[in-house]
Amino acid sequence: MPLDHQRIKNWKFEDIRHPYGQKDVILYALGIGLGQDPTDPLQLQYVYEDGLRVFPSMAAVMGYPGFWMKDPRTGVTWTQVVHGEQRMFFHAPFPTHGEVIGRSRITHVIDKGADKGALVVTERKIHDAATEALLATVQQVTFCRADGGFGKSDPGLEPLPKVPATEPDLRCALPTLPQAALLYRLNGDDNPLHADPAVAAKAGFPRPILHGLCTYGVVTRAIVRTLCEGQGDRLSHLHGRFSAPVFPGETLQVEMWKSSPETAQFQARVLERNIIVLSNGIAGIRS
């Protein structure tokens, strides 16, 4: 059934106040696999209170408004919704504890056609509650597979570029933990698809799959490790398109092409199955 363009475009979000502490910061970092080598100082800075720093992709779980498309008033066929792209801009480092405010709005509702579905872009700006400083901007592109054909459409976002056809300049392979999804869900996404084998089987998977944003976090780790010398504050933005699910315990290889000292393109593949799981990636690096 087609969406009501105006209803979705004008959807009202309440501000989300999100208090957090050092344990939350460490739990997020552990969930994306930081600390696998507990003697590595570049990992330890994200999982140990002494000198603790917030890993930048934690913005993905800060001030999140929840699965609002499940509200029947949206008219969205929520069972047919998939996460299409994640685009994130990192404006300033997060304090290691405090409170942030997430302010969300719909910026684009794009009709791809009656048989092709629709894209909805939700933008979330995350501010420090104490200072109002803008810390991060998150753009989530949601593919509503059963809801196209409503006619009125916003222009699309600027497309993410395909990676070059040449061999990558750099590669970084990181294993995911077998229990990664069980850890990551403690950040707030408790969808049983990521924990319950019976639910995963009903969805057509042989076992629970990893959260897409956990995959995104592991990929961010590889970019920070390889291009930012382990310093997350040097990452200015990171965008990518989800193309296939990952199973906990699989190895992600991130393949990178340096476009300039400040920009790199990338994709991520699961080595065990040799499939691309995150494509059309682009990252910005601060000097």
Please say whether the beta carbons of 89 and 32 come within 8 A: no
How much is the pLDDT for 191?
Answer: 82
Q: Which of 18, 108, 127, 194 is catalytic?
A: 194
Q: Which of 189, 196, 211, 239 is catalytic?
A: 189
- Residue 197 DSSP label: H
On average, the pLDDT of the chain sits at 95
The question of whether 189 is a catalytic residue gets the answer: yes
For the domain spanning 170-285, the CATH number is: 3.10.129.10
Q: How far apart are CA 164 and CA 172, in angstroms?
A: 17
How much is the pLDDT for 78?
Answer: 86
The question of whether 97 is a catalytic residue gets the answer: no
Q: What is the mean pLDDT of residues 181-188?
A: 92
Beta-carbon contacts of 139 under 8 Å, excluding residues fewer than 6 positions away, are: 85, 86, 87, 88, 107, 121, 122, 123, 124, 157
pLDDT at 172 over 90: yes
With b meaning 16 or more CB within 10 Å and e meaning fewer, what string describes 8-35? bbebeeeebebebeeebbbbbbbbbbbb
SS3 state at 266:
strand
Query: pLDDT tens across 21-78, in order?
Result: 999 999 999 999 999 999 999 999 999 999 999 999 999 999 999 889 989 999 999 8
pLDDT at 79 over 90: no
Which of the four pLDDT bands, split at 50, 70 and 90, describes residue 85?
Answer: very high
Fold category of 5-144 in CATH? Thiol Ester Dehydrase; Chain A (3.10.129)
Helices (H), 22-123: 22-31, 41-44
pLDDT at 218 over 90: yes
Which of the four pLDDT bands, split at 50, 70 and 90, describes residue 156?
Answer: confident
Query: pLDDT tens across 223-241, in order?
Result: 999 999 999 999 999 999 9
SS3 state at 213:
helix
Which of the four pLDDT bands, split at 50, 70 and 90, describes residue 19?
Answer: very high
Instruction: List the chain domain ranges.
Output: 5-144, 170-285
Q: How far apart are CA 187 and CA 175, in angstroms?
A: 20
Which of residues 85 and 80 earns the better pLDDT score? Answer: 85
